[in-house]
Structure 1
């Protein structure tokens, strides 16, 4: 698999907390979207760490084609 699976064609809003780390699923196969559950094992993909610098709502990419990984950049409109 050279292309990630499109988990959904819209971002996933998550309330993140200052100082916490989140592991974004890059392969699209996780059942815990937008976060990694280990489904990438055996593939060329690996999760991406996101460190929250502030407590706020962020929009994680779920189409897995963003140019601003792990956050949404609107790429789902072109997938």
Structure 2
């Protein structure tokens, strides 16, 4: 399994409708923060999550959150050379 690619230091603030979503956990997707299948061969799988009512969320783009797929501020602790 390879390490995830840091896509961005800042989380993605997105208003989501109710439904099931697939968060990109590998950092390779061209449709960040959602999966587009680019993880194939990386050993990293996307993470499904469900939104029950229309809401604004902050999805992790650094791929290091301990509260995946949501941002927990982990990007503030990462070294600058990862970005």
Which TM class, normalised by the smaller chain length?
A: over 0.9
Equivalences for residues 29-68 of structure 1 within 5 A: 29-68=28-67
The structural deviation recorded for 1:43 is 1.1
Q: Which residue of 2 aligns with 1:12?
A: 12
TM-score, normalising length: structure 1: 0.93
How many residues are paired up? 78
Structure 1: where are the runs of 5+ without partners?
none
Please report the RMSD computed on the Cα atoms of aligned residues, expressed in angstroms: 0.9
The structural deviation recorded for 1:34 is 0.2
The structural deviation recorded for 1:31 is 0.7
1:11-36 deviation digits (Å, cap 9, x = unpaired): 00111112x11100000010100000
Secondary structure of the residue that 1:76 maps to in structure 2? helix
The structural deviation recorded for 1:2 is 2.6
Paired with 2:63 and 2:52, the residues of 1 have a C-alpha distance of: 22
Question: Hey, which of these two has a bigger chunk of helix by percent?
Answer: 2
Secondary structure of the residue that 2:58 maps to in structure 1? strand
Paired with 1:50 and 1:16, the residues of 2 have a C-alpha distance of: 11
Over 6 Å off, 4+ runs: none
TM-score, normalising length: structure 2: 0.89
